[in-house]
Structure formats: C-alpha cells, structure tokens
Amino acid sequence: MADTQIKICGLSTPETLDAAVDAGATHVGFVHYEKSPRHLPLEDTARLRRRVPESVKLVLVTVAMQPEQLARAYDAVRPDVIQFHGSETAEWIALIRKTVGVECWRSFGLKDAGTLDRARAFADSCDRLLFDSPAKALPGGNGVVAQWELLEGWEPFMPWALAGGLSPGNVGEAIARTGAPLVDASSGLETAPGEKNVDLIRAFCDAVRQA
C-alpha cells in the first residue's frame, strides 16, 4: 500500500509552512475565503508560494468564486491544485480544469451514504474528491470529525481524500477505518482559529507515517 499523502491546510506564516514541508507534507493548503479565520490575501499567498519546493503541491482553497476572481487568484498564485469548497457544478469544474490545465478537487460534506452517490457526478470533471464534515458556519475547517463509518467498505471510483476534525490523536484511527489515501488537517493543528502550531503539524505527520 502506498504511503498516505498529507495535506496541511490553512497555513499563513513562513514558520508553519516550513514546518509542514520539513515534516513531510505532500500538499500545503492556503485558504482564499474572506469569511474564514484562515483567509490569506492573494499577495501573501503568492509570497509564501515561493517557499514551497517543487516536490510539494500547493492547494488553493476557494469557495464559490466568480470566474474573474478565480482567474485573478490563479494568475497570482499559480497553484498546483484548486480545491472547490462551495456549490460548484461538475460542468464548471470541468471547464476550469480544461481551460486552465490545473488539477481540481471538489469537497463534499459527508452527511449520509447519499453523499457518496452524489459524488459520482464529478468522476469525470475533477481529479480528487475530498470528504469533509458537513458545512456549519464555514464550508470547512469547523473541527468536526467526519462520519468515518460511511466510508468503511466503500469502494472508491477515483482518487479521494479525508478531512474533517483530523488531529494527531485521531488520524491513525481514521486511516485504519477508511483507508484514506490522503488526509487533510487544519483546525486540529491549531491553538486558536487560524493559528497553526508547529509541534502539532510535526506530530500529525508523524502519526500518519506510524499509521
């Protein structure tokens, strides 16, 4: 079985970005959504982008952005991946993927078994599905553990990832129960909303490797 990939999301400082890279993260995520405590302006994201080595993929997390906004964000940051975290349709994501030529992920709030069926509509339009806990005040990053039991025994039809309240203390169980090929942590690595902790980032990456 291939090593589980690791995404550390909601990064905002050089120190936490460097810690994620040094600890072995395969993906680093930056949130461009003003209502989120992890929101980072495009100019700051572009500045941090220069610190990301070629071996690590930069994921730009967006929520229901208009076409002009999305084009501006892509040009400013040049992400390896755009993560769609709103109500974007399969047709819209397919268009972006084709015209921009960028890897695209679509997030789903894991409410019930029907979520897995609805996700099938995106099989040909995006590169990876990301299953998160259902949206609350924010589309993601709420620190609520997803319903892992819905993924136990599920047979994936495309690449996918697991998010939703993952932390150093529970990620081993999450991987054991779901077989997630990529795990995505944000709020579980913070001491306050939007404030990542270097030690928690390292502990999370260690826990994934031990799993």
CATH of span 5-210? 3.20.20.70
Structure confidence at residue 140 (pLDDT): 47
* Model confidence, pTM: 0.93
**Distance separating the N- and C-terminal Cα atoms of the chain:** 12
Mean pLDDT in each 10-residue stretch from start to end of the chain (211 residues)? 89 98 98 93 96 98 89 96 92 92 94 91 96 66 72 94 95 96 96 96 98 90
For residue 60, the cross-strand partners are: 30, 82
Structure confidence at residue 126 (pLDDT): 96
Structure confidence at residue 145 (pLDDT): 74
Structure confidence at residue 116 (pLDDT): 93
Task: Confirm if 9 and 57 have CB atoms less than 8 A apart.
Answer: no
Structure confidence at residue 136 (pLDDT): 52
